[in-house]
């Protein structure tokens, strides 16, 4: 596929019909346990928190890849943080992910960001190789744990 043929669109909140039609199937490839309720929260509450989705389309309008991103002001400076990045299996190794990464870096530069950051699960070596090829360094460990809910007595 000629990278120049790709069309990029930012999808808006849940009222955009392409959100369910184009974005949800891509995100389910990355996050198969994603519930409808959580997806709805992502595209509504997440949008209110600055989360945006950039979708790469083929010239025929087929969604090929998606990235969720937001601009954060951190102690490291302004950062374009990528929440999710996924390419449809049929479009992998064809330059689609590389072009999407380039578009994200352009958005970061336009937004005054000094870095692009993302987290990647430890069990995803294919993604790690992709990120390393795109000059992203492993700079931290990301720790996570449950938040204990307080009981109401």
SS3 16: coil
Each residue's pLDDT tens digit, 2-35: 556 899 999 877 667 788 889 999 999 989 999 9
Each residue's pLDDT tens digit, 37-61: 999 888 889 989 999 999 999 999 9
* Helices within the chain (DSSP H only): 18, 24-30, 36-48, 96-110, 125-133
Distance of CA 52 to the CA centre of its chain: 8
CA distances for 88 relative to 10, 48, 117, 121, angstroms? 17, 27, 22, 18
Of 91, 98, 103, nearest in space to 9 by CA: 103
């Amino acid at each position: 596929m000629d990278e120049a043929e790709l069309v990029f669109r930012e999808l808006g909140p849940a009222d955009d019909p392409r959100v369910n039609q184009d974005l949800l199937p891509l995100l389910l490839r990355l996050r198969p346990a994603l519930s409808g309720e959580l997806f709805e929260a992502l595209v509504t509450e997440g949008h209110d928190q600055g989360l945006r989705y950039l979708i790469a389309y083929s010239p025929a309008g087929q969604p090929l890849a998606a990235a969720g991103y937001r601009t954060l002001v951190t102690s490291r400076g302004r950062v374009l943080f990528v929440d999710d990045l996924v390419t449809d299996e049929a479009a992998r190794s064809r330059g689609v992910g590389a072009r999407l990464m380039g578009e994200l870096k352009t958005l970061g530069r336009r937004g005054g960001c000094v870095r692009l950051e993302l987290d990647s699960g430890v069990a995803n070596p294919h993604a790690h190789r992709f990120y390393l090829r795109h000059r992203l360094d492993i700079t931290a460990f990301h720790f996570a744990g449950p938040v204990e809910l307080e009981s109401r007595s």
